[in-house]
Each structure stands twice: as C-alpha cells, then as structure tokens.
Structure 1
Amino acid sequence: MKIILASKSPRRRKMFDELGIEHTLWDGEVDERLNGVYPPNEQVKLIATKKARACFEDLKDNDSLIISADTVVALGNRILGKPKDDDDARNMLKSMSGTVHYVFSGVSAIYNGKTVADSEVTEIKFRDVTDREIERYLATNEHKDKAGSYGIQEKGGYFVERVNGDINNVVGLPVLKLRNMIFDEFGIDIFDLD
C-alpha cells in the first residue's frame, strides 16, 4: 500500500521515518483559512481535512492512503499558530510562561474516496520562563515554524514543567490516534504494512 503524507512539517516527516512508515511526500500549497470561527479541536480537523483533500484533488489517487495533520496551541480563548515574526514569538512565549495551555492536533486520512478525521488534545504547563531565556531561545530560530513558537522535542522543551497527554501530539502528530482512526475506518494498520 502506498502512503502519501500531505505535510510540509519536517517533524511529521521525521516521525514517519522513525516509525518505519514508508511514504511519499506531497507538499502542495493549501489555503488554511477557514470561513467562520471554530473551537480548536474542530479547527485542526477541518484544516487537516483541507490538506488531505487538496492532495487528493491534485493527485487523483484512489489507491493510496493520504494522511495529513494540523496543530495549534490554545491559551485561554487565544489560538496561537506559527509566529509571524520574532516579536510575535516573544509575546506568545511570555504569555505562556507559568501557565497551562493546550496543544490540539487534527489528523485526516483519505482512502478509496472516503475521508475521516479526528483530533487530540494535550495539556502543557510551562514553568516560569525569564525574558533572558526567551531571548536566548529566539536566537536559536527554532521557534520560526512551530505552533505556539516552541518545539517540545528541541530546546523549547526546557520551558515545559508538565505534560498531560500524548507528547507526540505536541510534536505535531498524535500517532496512536492516527493509527487507531485509520485501522477502525479502513482496516489498515499503518504500523504493519509489508
């Protein structure tokens, strides 16, 4: 079975590689804007589905399993996506210092013309982070392409005091949720393909 990962995220690609999931990549352009306001768990499912459908429409491939994902950080009523610039990243990190926030990832898959989607949420508690620590972190440029301006698997992980839930979700791909969704809907175990 051919698996297509519809993602530009190097972290998702790396996770597939580390799990031994053979795949090809599709990194076409997708308009991630939505008409209307949605709760974070719905927003990420809708955007992940937009990505999967864009890939399907581009490739017209009914025989492949197309997988996509989207991740956002929610702090109170604010959705924190990827930072626009260093000032935006600085403000995000300062606002999360000493607080709890939530990471939402949506996953979507298309196979044989059928589309499914689901979402996962993980609670993160940041320790109190100093302005100096934030500035040093920004100097690494690790924040530039990450929802919430940090990567838990990199230096940004040192800001984290506690994780409640799936850490893979925070990296950007709730692997178990994805595997179970695909198995339940299509009878395909992405961990056991030969």
Structure 2
Amino acid sequence: MEFMADTPIILASGSPRRQELLRNLGIPFEIMPSDVEEVVELVDNDFADYAQKLAVKKAAAVSQMRSDAVIIAADTIVVFEGEVYPKPSSKGQAESFLRRFSGKTHSVFTGVSILGNGLSTVFAEETKVTFKELDDQLIRAYVDSGDPMDKAGGYGIQTAGALLVEKIDGDYLNVVGLPLSKLVETLRKEGIILLKEAE
C-alpha cells in the first residue's frame, strides 16, 4: 500500500515509533520535531482535551516555520486514578509507576492535531490498558533494560513492555503513540493523501 500527497506532510515528532508507523504505510512525510514546552492547563480532568491541547501546541510551533505544509503532531499521555504519568525521570520512578499499574487498568490518550493547507482539525483517542499482577523481579528486569525511560507511563507496549499487559480495550497503535486508523481516515477524507492505484 502506498499513498500520494500534493502538499508536503511534516510529522512534528522525533518519536521513532510514530515515524515507523507512517513509513510502514507508505505515507510520504518529512520530520521536524517540535521543541515547544509540553505544558498546558488541565481543565476539569478532561484528559482527552489535555492531550489535544499539547498536540495543537506542537503543530502550531512547526506550522510557523513551514506554512507550505500540512503538519501532523501528536501527544500521548498515560492516566491512572486522575493523574498523568509522564516519562519517568529515574529508574526508581519507573518502578514506582509500574507497581501502581500492576493488576489495574489505566488509560492512554493520544491527541492528534492536523494543521495546514486550510485544514485545522484535532481529535483524541483513548485506549484502556490492563496490566497483569507484576512481580518485583519482572519490574526490575524491565526497568533495567532501559526501555521505560523515554516512554509516557514508563513502558512501551510494542517492546518488552508487552509482557506487562493483560489486555487492552481500544486501538493498540494508540498506545504505541499514534492512532493510525483514525489519522489516515481523516487525512483521506480531507484530501491530504490519496491511495496510489496499483499499476
């Protein structure tokens, strides 16, 4: 499968996971990470809105530099018991996150902003993730691997973090960091990308 685009598409993300997801679909894009401070106001515990605001902030920053392009920006947050769990700042914090998630269900929200070429749209997806009951040995081994340190909530479902997960309810790729089905549906509907016909 391969797509065409008349307008340059820029992914405003340095995440190799998001880049790989788009690349695997044959969507043409450039990479221009946004370096804005990832701080917005959480209002009434509306975490979908919070993730969307972060994505909009990233897209707007890159759009100022590339007004000729359509900017795709995303932000993924992990929420448990009314609290946002960021990327852990230490191994100890990563272990603490995973112990709290053990045997329980948390939510992963990804906000996506698409901006440019006369288009300004934003949406969020929520996926519920239930962890197994985790033993200390597994938690320590996973944290020692270094995998949790650059990931919201302290785990990556697409890597060894999958061993922690009992089940998910919703879009798996949303947990990876980009709700691809919804994104492509929106881009096609807006005429930003077109499927190439088989020759």
TM-score range for the pair, normalised by the shorter chain length: over 0.9
For 1:4-52, what per-residue CA distance to the aligned partner results, in whole angstroms no more than 9, with x for missing partners? Answer: 0000111101111111111110013111111454521011111011111
Distance in structure 2 (CA, Å) of the matches to 1:153 and 1:69 = 18
Pairing of 1:35-74 with structure 2 (within 5 A)? 35-37=41-43, 38-59=45-66, 61-62=67-68, 64-74=69-79
Distance in structure 2 (CA, Å) of the matches to 1:14 and 1:135 = 28
Distance in structure 2 (CA, Å) of the matches to 1:160 and 1:18 = 25
CA contact (8 A) 1:80 1:147 kept: yes
Pairing of 1:71-86 with structure 2 (within 5 A)? 71-86=76-91
2:149 to 144, 149, 165: 144
Letter in 2 for 1:169: N
SS at match of 2:147: coil
CA contact (8 A) 2:41 2:50 kept: no
Distance in structure 1 (CA, Å) of the matches to 2:104 and 2:166 = 10
Distance in structure 1 (CA, Å) of the matches to 2:138 and 2:52 = 33
Distance in structure 1 (CA, Å) of the matches to 2:86 and 2:41 = 17
Q: Is 1:188 paired with 2:192?
A: yes
Matched residue, 2:37: 31
Distance in structure 2 (CA, Å) of the matches to 1:22 and 1:5 = 10
Distance in structure 2 (CA, Å) of the matches to 1:183 and 1:130 = 45
Letter in 1 for 2:53: L
TM-align CA RMSD: 1.6
Distance in structure 1 (CA, Å) of the matches to 2:42 and 2:78 = 18
Deviation >6 Å, runs of 4+: none
Q: Is 1:96 paired with 2:101?
A: yes
Gaps of 5+ in 1: none
CA contact (8 A) 1:118 1:181 kept: no
Q: TM-score, normalised by structure 2?
A: 0.90
CA contact (8 A) 2:91 2:144 kept: no
Q: Is 1:109 paired with 2:114?
A: yes
1:17 to 12, 23, 32: 23
- Pick which of 124-133 and 110-119 moved more: 110-119
Q: Is 1:5 paired with 2:41?
A: no
SS at match of 2:153: helix
Letter in 1 for 2:182: K
Distance in structure 1 (CA, Å) of the matches to 2:132 and 2:138 = 12
SS at match of 1:119: strand
Distance in structure 2 (CA, Å) of the matches to 1:113 and 1:83 = 37
